[in-house]
Chain A
Amino acid sequence: MKRRIRTLCLYILVFSMLYCTSLWAAPQQTKQADLSGAGATFPAPLYQHWIKQFAESSPGFTISYDEVGSGEGIKRFLAGKVDFGASDTAMSDTEAQGAKHGVQFVPATAGTVVLAYNLPGVDQPLRLSREVYVDIFLGVIKMWNDPRIVALNPESKLPSLNITTVTRADSSGTTWAFSNHLKAISPRWHDAGFTAAKKMNWPGNAMAVNYNEGVANRIRHSWGAIGYVEYGVAKRTGLAMAELENKAGHFVVPSVTSGMAALANNAGELPDNLRMFFPDPIGQDSYPIITYTWLLLPKTNLSPQQGERIKKFVDWCLRDGQKYAEQFDYIPLPEAVSIKARQAVQQVR
């Protein structure tokens, strides 16, 4: 009986606490930003910085950005829950058909996807050839001291650890960029029954984690782990990153410089919908995994006020915002791309 009374008191306490928290949280939820966006976690650090800088330089309205992954960003954009979406895949044509008011893709910045790993006792940067990292993510190469990895890294003493790949559990543009790259560089990827997708059923010993930051943290806590993650996130988490073999057969260190080289060597002419992928960039010094990331804007049916707001913000991002890209380890847009994107933004009504 005594125990029951104690339990009852505890319940009452807990419920009253929950009730108080919900009362306290409720008014915060109802306050909305004037311009709301949601989507990719890949460029999120840069977007958040843009929002802060933009608010300082041109006050007048507030902007919010939810980092929820590209898939969810597209979903919310299509459902009309946000004023703009953000995605590392733009949208597929079928997805774009679902947009009631049309959609304008605006490349906002570009970034690289790196293979970050955690191998205690290995100080030399790991080198991975194209065949080897495809086989690692296919689960064919299972051990770090596999002869094929050892042959590429003769100076490192590779431990006898199982390889654990770390992948994204949520629907993600980073996954799309990486799997699109794997599909382009190796027929084995296709033969194993895989394609490019935002969400994949990864083979082998793969752990699945939500968000770029989640993947980076999981790698940090797991020995023998390797995963694909946005360059800046990996850098800030302090992870080692592998040198990857590019199309020209060179091993390239991931950096903003090698990313800029890849973009410069491959940017070419953008198609009219401003959607362009580089699954396997050419060039001697190009880093092999690189992608634009897009803002998704509704083409029509904006209230004049919202239209002006969106135009003002996005134009600022493409013009003044680009100089912050490098600081956050992204790649600024080439001038030609930025001009074309700004023209597209003005079309939005």
Chain B
Amino acid sequence: MAEYNSLQRSQSISKPPTAGDMLANRAFRVLTLVFTWSIVLLLAYILYKIGGRAIPAVKEYGLGMLVGTTWDVNARTFGILPEIWGTLYSSLLALILGGFFGVSIAIFLTQNFLPRILETILRSIIELLAAIPSVVYGLWGIFVLIPIIRPVADFFNTHFSWIPFFSTSLSGPGMFPAALVLSIMILPTVAAISQDAFRAIPHKITEAAYGMGTTRWEAILRVMLPTAAGGIFGALVLGLGRALGETMALAMLVGNSNQISLSVFAPANTLAALLALNFPEAGDTEISVLMFAACVLLLITLLVNMLGALIINKTGIKR
């Protein structure tokens, strides 16, 4: 208390907090606490609501729905295996493409290949990709991308049709254009977090590598990449999480075809696209089934995101 009084009397600029400051501080803390918890509650509420609507379907169809392949409203048979397959397949394809380019971009932008100012500009442009609406990606895919990749697809289909991945011709909407657009959509996520991972490498390690006489590429591939591997892996998992839940662009590009095909040119379907297509006029039973599908999608995405967060945490990258 004596100290407090002496502070009050002192002539320095540091002053004790006034009652107003204390109140503002307290109010702010309460407010943030409420907001933080309301996010947790919101998630719980969403799960409760969706799960609640899904219960009739879970009771009636159970886990059989996860392995069924027909979706027939008249026969009341519902299976979402083709959609689960399509979701995972498109996301993995997108991850391979987007991951490769994302990590390459991260290397290019962090390893002094470019002047600092150019690096900043390029980085902003790549981050801008994340701001483009999904439906614009979808339209771009239909009107620009598909005509461009059609000759490529035709070439692979004509010459390599014995490989199951190229066994059908590309009609238009299909797995490959969808995965390609998806890979562009996850690119900003992957590139940004990978860049953080490369930046987090202590300068000493780089110096040590060069000190031992490595060339630039040896340093990047043998030293930097393994050191940043944890963070890059986390970036990939977060990108995968984003790809799994993407809806609009996929609903427009994937072809909405209820089949399981290895061919990347065949039309397919994803869980999110199934929900988007069938919700507008679903009957009671179908809504329950769709909610079940939504739960499955939520669960897959949640697991992937948690895994990503865990990896980033363990490897100690500061975002």
Using CB atoms and an 8 Å cutoff, list the residues of chain A in contact with chain B. Answer: 68-69, 71-72, 75, 160-162, 164, 169-171, 195, 197, 199-202, 204-210, 218, 221-225
Is the pair A205, B266 in contact by a Cβ cutoff of 8 Å? yes
Rounded to whole angstroms, the CA-CA distance of A252 and B46 in the bound complex is 55
Asked if B146 is at the interface of the complex by the 8 Å CB criterion, the answer is yes
B143 to A, closest residue via Cβ = A221
Is the pair A205, B259 in contact by a Cβ cutoff of 8 Å? yes
A-side contacts of B73, CB under 8 Å: 171, 199, 201
Given A162-B171, A199-B74, A221-B146, check contact A207 B281 (CB 8 Å): no
Is the pair A170, B172 in contact by a Cβ cutoff of 8 Å? no
Is the pair B281, A72 in contact by a Cβ cutoff of 8 Å? yes
Query: What is the total number of residues of chain B having a CB less than 8 Å from a CB of chain A?
Result: 29
Query: Which of A199, A205, A210, A221 is B172 in contact with, Cβ under 8 Å?
Result: A221
Given A201-B72, A223-B150, check contact A68 B281 (CB 8 Å): yes
Rounded to whole angstroms, the CA-CA distance of A280 and B313 in the bound complex is 67
Is the pair B277, A222 in contact by a Cβ cutoff of 8 Å? no
A-side contacts of B259, CB under 8 Å: 204-206
A-side contacts of B278, CB under 8 Å: 169
Is the pair B258, A162 in contact by a Cβ cutoff of 8 Å? no
Is the pair B171, A201 in contact by a Cβ cutoff of 8 Å? no
Rounded to whole angstroms, the CA-CA distance of A175 and B146 in the bound complex is 28
How many contacts A-B (CB < 8 Å)?
A: 81
A-side contacts of B70, CB under 8 Å: 201
Asked if B90 is at the interface of the complex by the 8 Å CB criterion, the answer is no
Query: Which of A71, A208, A224, A225 is B256 in contact with, Cβ under 8 Å?
Result: A208
B-side contacts of A225, CB under 8 Å: 171-172
By Cβ-Cβ distance, the 7 closest A-B pairs, closest first, are: A222-B172, A201-B72, A222-B171, A164-B171, A72-B281, A221-B172, A162-B168
Is the pair A207, B277 in contact by a Cβ cutoff of 8 Å? no
Sample 16 A-B pairs with CB under 8 A, ordered by A number: A72-B281, A75-B281, A75-B283, A161-B171, A200-B72, A201-B70, A201-B74, A202-B258, A207-B255, A207-B267, A208-B256, A218-B173, A221-B142, A221-B172, A224-B169, A225-B171
B-side contacts of A164, CB under 8 Å: 171-172, 255, 257, 267
Rounded to whole angstroms, the CA-CA distance of A71 and B282 in the bound complex is 10
CB distance from A152 to the nearest CB of B (A): 21
Rounded to whole angstroms, the CA-CA distance of A227 and B173 in the bound complex is 15
Rounded to whole angstroms, the CA-CA distance of A119 and B278 in the bound complex is 29
Rounded to whole angstroms, the CA-CA distance of A161 and B77 in the bound complex is 32
